[in-house]
A = this chain, B = another copy of it.
Amino acid sequence: MTTQTAKRQLTPVSFTQVTLDDPFWAPRQEINRRISIPHMYQMLVDTGRIGAFDLNFERPTPSPIVLIFGDSDPAKWLEAACYSLITHPDPELAALVDQVADKIISAQQPDGYLNTHFTVTQPDMRWKNLRDWHEMYCAGHLMEAAVAHFQATGNPKLLNALARYADHIDREFGPNPGQRRGYCGHPEIELALVRLYHATGERRYLELSKYMVEERGQSNPHYYDVEAIARGEDPRKFWAKTYEYCQAHKPIREQDKVVGHAVRAMYLMAGVADLAHEYDDPTLLAACERLWDNLVHQRMYLTGGIGPSRHNEGFTFDYDLPDETAYAETCAAIALVMWNHRLLQFAGDGKYADIIEQTLYNGFISGVSLAGDSFFYVNPLASTGSHHRTPWFECPCCPPNVGRILASLGNYLYSTGDAALWVHFYAQNRANVTVDGKPVQVRLTSNYPWEGAVHLALTLDAPQRFALKLRIPGWCDAWAVKVNGAPVDTATTDHGYITIDRIWQSGDVVTLDLTMPVQAIYAHPNVRQLQGRLALQRGPIVYCMEGVDNSGIGLERIALDPAQVPAFSVDYQPDLLGGVAVLRGQGRAITDDGWNSHILYRRNHPSSVAPVDVVAIPYATWDNRAPGEMRVWFRAA
């Protein structure tokens, strides 16, 4: 009897219409294009990931799982390269992309199947272990690559190949007689099939995605039990013990905690959000909101990192947020952004944009070095100095994932709705958007995220009435808005946005001034690891301290006085770490007084403390200088 709708009211503006020229993202995008994408290609070649599509390799059986799902890495690279081509045409890269696309197509089997590992090494094991072997995950990433390739080149050859593969999967799996009721242990294909549906117009792909989401976690019997028994295995001997690991422990509509492998959970929920919209299904949207509440209010790091545990690359229990051992995989931050971007479009609730911003500026972009040629897989919130980015990984899922998000980062800035233009972020950019079918050019200038002053100029063909929706970030307590120099009363926000509804003239200028003080952040009393602690944040930027700036003492010796934090100075340093605002202030540090190397514990005499100057830098930029300690959360004292 619900009357709630689950259709999206907003439509994101594509990155193809947005050109960033801000101090934070534009250099990252440039490095991504010039350094990271070529670097990743070379690594994929060197590790045989590209050559695998020649179907001419030897592998032991059983093979390491990272080899089994190796097709997904070139797929993500191809997606990144295609996005880059759209914004920065490049004949050389275009030729390479064409070559890789042809290679992928050449590996397709007559029945449409397209997976190098199972074609070459274990043809008899095709589709025999959906739980563990990532076949549909690889298919999904290839589908996303195909959609991007068609978008970039207009050439449908790869799209057609992946449609044939989707047809194959659609014949094999489903609820009908003669089909197996399977779905992938690593979700991804669900959201990919929705993209494939939009790119091809073939509604069967949407239906297949819906089937996969709804079959997931059904248990009479459970498909992963069935296929394990068919392999001669005891399903109870699943290493992860329960199907929570792959979010298949119960149907999605019955899940109320975000569990298991973090990337899997987020990709799945992105697909669920897509289907909620496509089928106008409030029960799927409700599942999203329920799991979002649990994730954001009980299981997310301040950086937007998610999944504290290395063991399952994922979630543990509510309020368990260790800092030094945080897993917080880069791919999980990416998938968190993808899911929230989908949720944001339903009703324009700024709480989703808050998560996107918090994650992009911190726990996502920490994943790549400023030089663009080394990466974090794991993004802890404290380090003894032994954690460093590396050029590549045995499981290289993160680098090309960073690549595709950076290349399409413009996706996240704007949405349009009925008589509405939504501005989610304030990174400097030029955008060509369409509101109610009419073109609007936006020139947004700012020094965001280092300063909160935003200047927004509109160019229209003709005067046009629409609501300009400006996001007031969750971190912001005070702001001022002017239109053409005249103050506007925007004291109240609606779900995180202020609205200026008027007939806009070409040349209208809106200024938004977001007050951006240094803030002390505290964690819920149930987060045992963070009690008596504070973190530093300014605007969307979470800060950390590094040994190199705070030399001579261990960072855990430093305590910060909450009352002093607002007095920390903000010092923009153009030559440091690509240009960052550092924070400077005073803390108190435990001294060596009375201690020596022959005393580990002492009785009744607490350590003495002394004032110490401290310097904090943006978390995302750590480990770009001399290796050393890093810490986000400090003792408050």
Top 7 A-B pairs ranked by shortest CB distance? A528-B556, A531-B556, A525-B590, A519-B603, A532-B635, A297-B600, A297-B598
Q: Which of the 9-residue segments A225-233, A449-457, A483-491, A604-612 touches chain B?
A: A604-612
Instruction: Judge if A302 is at the interface, Cβ distance under 8 Å.
Output: yes
Copies in the complex: 2
Chain A residues numbered 280-316 whose CB sits less than 8 Å from any CB in chain B: 293, 296-298, 300, 302
Bound-complex Cα distance A302 to B599 (A): 12
The answer, yes or no, to whether A592 is at the interface (CB within 8 Å) is: yes
A600 touches B559 (CB 8 A): no
Q: Which of B591, B592, B605, B637 is in CB contact (< 8 Å) with A532? A: B637
> Of B302, B477, B591, B601, which contacts A522 at CB under 8 A?
B601
A279 contact set on B, CB distance < 8 A: none
CB of A26 within 8 A of chain B? no
Contacts A520-B604, A522-B606, A562-B606 given; indicate if A297 touches B595 (C-beta within 8 A): no
A390 located at the interface, meaning its Cβ lies under 8 Å from any Cβ of chain B in the complex: no
Question: Are B537 and A559 in contact, with the CB atoms below 8 A?
Answer: no
CB of A562, distance to nearest CB on chain B (Å): 5
A534 part of interface (Cβ distance < 8 Å): yes
**Residues on the B chain within 8 Å of A23, using CB:** none
Contact A606 B302 (CB under 8 A): no
Q: What 0/1 pattern do residues 122 to 144 of A give for CB contact below 8 A with B?
A: 00000000000000000000000
Point out the residue from B298, B475, B592, B603 that lies within 8 Å of A525, measured CB to CB: B592
Chain B residues with CB below 8 A from A298, complex form: 597, 600
- Is A237 at the interface (CB under 8 A from chain B)? no
Closest-CB distance, A479 to chain B (whole angstroms) = 15
Which listed residue, B555, B598, B606, touches A520 by the CB 8 Å rule?
B606
Contact A599 B532 (CB under 8 A): no
Contacts of A519 in B (CB 8 A): 603-604
Query: Is the beta-carbon distance between B525 and A557 smaller than 8 angstroms?
Result: yes
Interface string of A533-552 (1 = CB under 8 A from B): 01001000000000000000
Q: Which residues of B contact A599 (CB under 8 A)?
A: 297, 524
Q: Give every chain B residue within 8 A of A557 (Cβ-Cβ).
A: 525, 531
List 24 A–B pairs whose Cβ atoms lie within 8 Å, in order of A's numbering.
Answer: A297-B597, A298-B597, A300-B600, A302-B601, A519-B604, A520-B603, A522-B601, A522-B605, A523-B601, A524-B599, A524-B600, A524-B601, A525-B554, A525-B590, A525-B592, A525-B595, A527-B600, A528-B556, A531-B554, A531-B635, A532-B559, A532-B590, A532-B637, A637-B637
Give chain B residues whose Cβ lies under 8 Å from the Cβ of A526.
Answer: 554
Known interface pairs A531-B590, A637-B532; A522-B598 also in contact (CB < 8 Å): no
Q: Is A505 an interface residue (CB 8 A)?
A: no
- Cα distance, A475 to B601, chains bound together (Å): 11
CA distance A289 to B407 in the complex (A): 59
Residue A602, interface by CB 8 Å: yes
Residues of B within 8 A of A529 (CB): 556
A371 within 8 A of B: no
- Provide the residues of chain B in CB contact with A554, threshold 8 Å: 525-526, 528, 531
Q: By the criterion CB–CB under 8 Å, are A600 and B296 in contact?
A: yes
Most chain B CB atoms below 10 A, which of A297, A532, A605: A532
Docked Cα-Cα span, A529 to B598, in Å, equals: 19
Closest to A531 in B: B556
For A556, list chain B residues within 8 Å (CB). 528-529, 531
**Interfacial chain B residues near A566, Cβ < 8 Å:** 604
Interface residues of A in 612-637 (CB under 8 A from B): 635-637
Cα(A637)–Cα(B607), bound, Å = 13
Whether A524 and B297, one on each chain, are in contact in the complex, defined by CB atoms closer than 8 angstroms, is no
B293 and A602: CB pair below 8 A?
no
CA distance A375 to B325 in the complex (A): 27
Set of chain B residues within 8 Å of A600, measured between Cβ atoms? 296-298, 300, 523-524, 527
> Is A521 engaged at the interface, CB distance under 8 Å to the other chain?
yes
- Cross-chain contact A522 with B297 (CB below 8 angstroms): no
Is A384 an interface residue, CB under 8 A from the partner? yes
Q: Report chain B residues within 8 Å CB of A635.
A: 531-532
Contacts of A637 in B (CB 8 A): 532, 637
Beyond the given pairs A522-B605, A526-B554, A531-B554, 5 more chain A to chain B contacts, judged by CB atoms under 8 angstroms and listed by A's residue number, are: A296-B600, A298-B597, A520-B606, A521-B603, A525-B590
